[in-house]
Amino acid sequence: MWLIMGSEKKIILVTGGSGLVGQAIKQAKQQDPRENETFIFLSSKDGDLKDPAATQRIFERYKPTHVIHLAAMVGGLFNNMKHNLDFLRNNILINDNVLQNSYKLGVKKVVSCLSTCIFPDQTTYPIDETMIHNGPPHSSNFGYSYAKRLIDVQNHAYHQQHGCHFTAVIPTNVFGAYDNFNLEDGHVIPGLIHKAYIAKKEGKPLVVYGSGKPLRQFIYSIDLAKLFLFVLREYEEIDPIILSVDESSEVSIGEVAQIVADAFQLEHGIVLDSTKADGQYKKTASNKKLRGYLPDFQFMPLKDAIERTVQWFNLNYNIARK
């Protein structure tokens, strides 16, 4: 039987499949299925990937041909500032176990997930893929950043020594359904949505931490998921690729807070809590490399994507991570 190139049977293991990005990939692959692809979405209930033996058992059980590696200790600014060591150690352990087992089982391709916060804090803008190792990251998240930078080093080392095809994507701040809406540990958009939900109930203003001035590029989880499938199916480089909305879509935290307040039709305005940290002022990323591959990719407008996420949170308040 002759198989057309590229239609070989793929068993795709998605580590961290129960989280924000994992759930979005689950939805995106249903919207754009391929006959030769079988996906397995893992959660930490399937085994602790910090544990080498548990990771080996998972790989021996599913025998993946491809891996989308999302599993990580993930959190917002304030969680990172409190737990830099845990972010460093937990993510180094998880990444080493997943990549080493992928190598041992002859996995054909691994796509890991970095983040634009790992780039040097003192840099020129816009940031591009060549700048990953050009200096220290921002002090608020150095633990997470160095653990993620190490993935890029590991990918090149596995390729150089064993010819492995391990690569990585670098998303900007992600948001969407199934996010972590915990007020202490989560990121800004889920944090604002949860606070707006409470403010609506209590007839109070929405409290925004910090000055509201920092700038961010936000990518909707479903858009990121579609781009992840493109990278899994068609991206052949070992070097990573930034997955981001255009630079022109960069917004301030104050502007995002206003979009969230409008989505809840809040009547008591917004107040700033300047006792809270701003973190990194900006991390403006270029998506020129991505646009080279997908010049016409349409990102969902931020306002529409936030409204959909607010709708999801209102409907799923009971099950949402809080």
Q: Which residues bind ligand NAP (CB under 6 A)?
A: 16-22, 43-45, 48-50, 70-74, 94, 113, 115, 171, 173-174, 180, 187
Q: Give the start-end residues of each E strand in the chain.
A: 10-15, 37-41, 66-69, 109-113, 166-171, 173-175, 206-209, 215-216, 218-220, 241-243, 251-252, 270-273
Which candidate, 285, 77, 313, 41, places its Cα nearest to that of 176? 313
244 contact choice in ligand NAP, ligand GFB, none (CB below 5 to 8 Å, kind-dependent): none
- Assess whether 235 carries a catalytic annotation: no
Chain residue at closest Cβ approach to ligand NAP: 19
- 11: amino acid identity, one letter: I
Kindly provide the b/e burial profile for residues 98-126, where b requires at least 16 CB atoms within 10 angstroms of the residue's own CB: bbbbbbebebebbbbbbbbbbbbbeeeeb
Q: Is 77 in the site for ligand GFB (CB under 6 A)?
A: yes
Closer CB to ligand GFB, 144 or 228, in the complex: 144
The backbone region for 131, taken as left when phi is positive above 0, alpha when psi lies in -120 to 50, beta otherwise, is alpha
**Tokens standing for 35?**
């006959």
Question: What mask, x for binding ligand GFB by CB under 6 A, covers residues 78 to 117?
Answer: x-x----------------------------------x-x
Of positions 279, 289, 299, 302, contacts ligand GFB by CB under 6 A: 279
Q: Write out the DSSP string of 66-112.
A: EEEE-------HHHHHH-HHHHHHHHHHHHHHHHHHHHHTT-SEEEE
Catalytic residue among 103, 125, 144, 158: 144
The identity of residue 221, as a single letter, is S
- Binding at 278: pick from ligand GFB, ligand NAP, none (beta carbon under 5-8 Å per type): ligand GFB
17 binds ligand GFB (CB under 6 A): no
Interface segment toward ligand GFB; rule CB under 6 A; list 32-40, 99-107, 225-233, 270-278 = 270-278
Contact status: 214 vs ligand GFB (CB under 6 A)? yes
CA–CA dist 85, 139 (Å, integer): 12
DSSP for residue 14: E
Give the nearer residue to ligand GFB in terms of CB position, either 246 or 278. 278
43 binds, among ligand NAP, ligand GFB, none (CB under 5 to 8 A by kind): ligand NAP
173, 187 in Cβ contact below 8 A?
A: yes
Q: How far is the CB of 141 from ligand GFB (least distance, A)?
A: 4
Say which amino acid occupies 212.
G
- The entry of ligand GFB, ligand NAP, none near residue 154 (CB within 5 to 8 angstroms by kind) is none
Taking the complex as a whole, the smallest distance from the CB of residue 253 to ligand NAP amounts, in Å, to: 14
Q: Residue 249: which of 280, 275, 222, 215 has the closest Cα?
A: 215
53: left (phi over 0), alpha (psi -120 to 50) or beta: alpha
Query: Which one of 6-14, 120-128, 138-146, 302-310 is the stretch in contact with ligand GFB (CB under 6 A)?
Result: 138-146
Residues between 44 and 73 with contacts to ligand GFB, criterion CB under 6 A? none
Among all chains, which residue has been given the structure tokens 């409907």?
Answer: 315
Which of ligand GFB, ligand NAP, none does 48 bind, CB closer than 5 to 8 A by kind? ligand NAP
Binding residues for ligand GFB, rule: CB under 6 A, are 76-78, 80, 115, 117, 140-141, 144, 173, 186-188, 191-192, 195, 208-210, 214, 216, 253, 276-280
Catalytic residue numbers, as ranges: 144
